[in-house]
Amino acid sequence: MSIYLDNAATSYPKPPAVYDAVLAAMQQIGASPGRGGYGAALQASRLLFETREALAAFFNCADSSRIIFTHNATEALNMAVRGLLQPGDHVVTSSMEHNSLLRPLFMLQKTGVELSIVPADSEGLVDPDAIRRELRPTTRLVALAHVSNVTGGIQPVEEISAVAREAGALVLLDAAQSAGCLPIDMQALGVDLLAAPGHKGLLGPQGTGLLAVAPHVRLHPLLAGGTGSSSDQDHQPEGFPEGFEAGTHNLPGIAGLKAGIAFLAATGVATVAEREHGYGSYLREQLFVLPGCRLYGPSDPQKRVGLLSLTIDGWDASALAFELDRVYGIAVRAGLHCAPRAHRTIGSYPGGTVRISPGWFTTPEELEHCCTALATIIQKGTP
């Protein structure tokens, strides 16, 4: 792989410290946290605690014990909605959501949870007033993605949270595309639950993620099993965090996640956001002028991050991505990106789009090569 532009799926490469931390956890610790009182197990528990503390500070979560480790954002979103919503509760979401949020909500709808899906505009942005119009006395939750994985559009979370508070509803933020890419302050944004993967903007390994839960939120565990504590009880404990982390932790992954957070803290998330936003702006400027090339997402640069989606007249999105990979050595994502309703919203359904998502380690030369490749493909004509 010569040029990697699929950081919205998984960031690559990682900071060297991330690889070192994963290996050190396997070679130098080895033991599992909470599964023994000997030195290595205590060292593992200390690593777990330190990572919770780092994540709580990173997102301004009021209580680090309410940072729950998961295997990905999908598990975190399931844990949030299935641990919170009961039959008769009402939840509001948007047409721009990833299946990781929508599919659990549709499952709950079959059990008696009521669901409203607010349509976004043609650029993929949600109007807070449209959320307000859907609120009911039974509305328990407003759940939405901070940043669209299709368009890169940034939703007005602070305004939507204020609307939710007016109705006494909680706010669940899917931060899959924003964690590590935009500064996130849970308390300033009015977010009650935040789900994020470790392997994207947080620069950690695959198989890591988290759910951050505000102190006033009561949640029921999604999984039951061994917790390393309260072993005399027949039923799953509901205390934070142990009751929500049944089974053995992915300690090497969590060690890598801690190193990713440390890299971001030292670099500055605002600095990361500025670089990636600049990359996205460069791509748009270069690709906008290409004949037959259509770009999707917000026209206002302040309302989007660095990723962008495009289509080229006469080209199937998957065929275009294959051409970029086969001929030019450029890795991008094509298709519906697990968000079919988002594509219906912006007008790219059913073929989907080609998504280009630079990251912190992307170089200007790589972006220039990508733009040149697309211009050459258009000049050669349809396949």
Domain boundary among 242, 267, 292: 267
Distances (CA, A) of 118 to 91, 142, 256: 11, 11, 37
Task: Give the sign of the dihedral formed by CA 265, CA 150, CA 152, CA 94.
Answer: negative
* The pLDDT value given to residue 233: 83
* The pLDDT value given to residue 307: 97
CATH code for the domain of 291 = 3.90.1150.10
Report which of 4, 12, 31 is spatially closest to residue 204, judged by C-alpha positions.
12
Report which of 228, 259, 194, 218 is spatially closest to residue 86, judged by C-alpha positions.
218
Give the pTM: 0.96
* The pLDDT value given to residue 230: 73
Domain boundary among 267, 298, 321: 267
Regarding whether 129 and 37 lie in a shared domain, the answer is yes
Please report how the helices 251-267 and 39-59 are oriented relative to each other, as an axis angle in degrees rounded to 10: 40
Regarding whether 321 and 258 lie in a shared domain, the answer is no
- As beta bridge partners, residue 382 has none
Domain boundary among 252, 267, 282: 267
Structural domain boundaries enclosing 21: 16-267
Regarding whether 302 and 238 lie in a shared domain, the answer is no
Regarding whether 280 and 183 lie in a shared domain, the answer is no
Gap between the Cα atoms of 290 and 307, Å rounded: 18
Regarding whether 82 and 227 lie in a shared domain, the answer is yes
Q: Is 338 tagged catalytic? A: yes
Report which of 235, 212, 233 is spatially closest to residue 224, judged by C-alpha positions.
235
**CA atoms lying within 13 Å on the CB side of residue 251:** 25
Gap between the Cα atoms of 194 and 24, Å rounded: 29
CATH code for the domain of 51 = 3.40.640.10
Give pLDDT < 50 ranges for the chain.
Answer: none
- DSSP-assigned letter for residue 16: H
Regarding whether 147 and 278 lie in a shared domain, the answer is no
* The pLDDT value given to residue 81: 98
Report which of 144, 136, 137 is spatially closest to residue 161, judged by C-alpha positions.
144
Q: Name residue, tokens 């309410």.
A: 66
Regarding whether 221 and 201 lie in a shared domain, the answer is yes
Q: Which of 61, 181, 293, 338 is catalytic?
A: 338
Regarding whether 86 and 228 lie in a shared domain, the answer is yes
> pLDDT tens digits for 227-257?
776 777 878 888 899 889 999 999 999 999 9
Regarding whether 240 and 307 lie in a shared domain, the answer is no
Regarding whether 311 and 184 lie in a shared domain, the answer is no
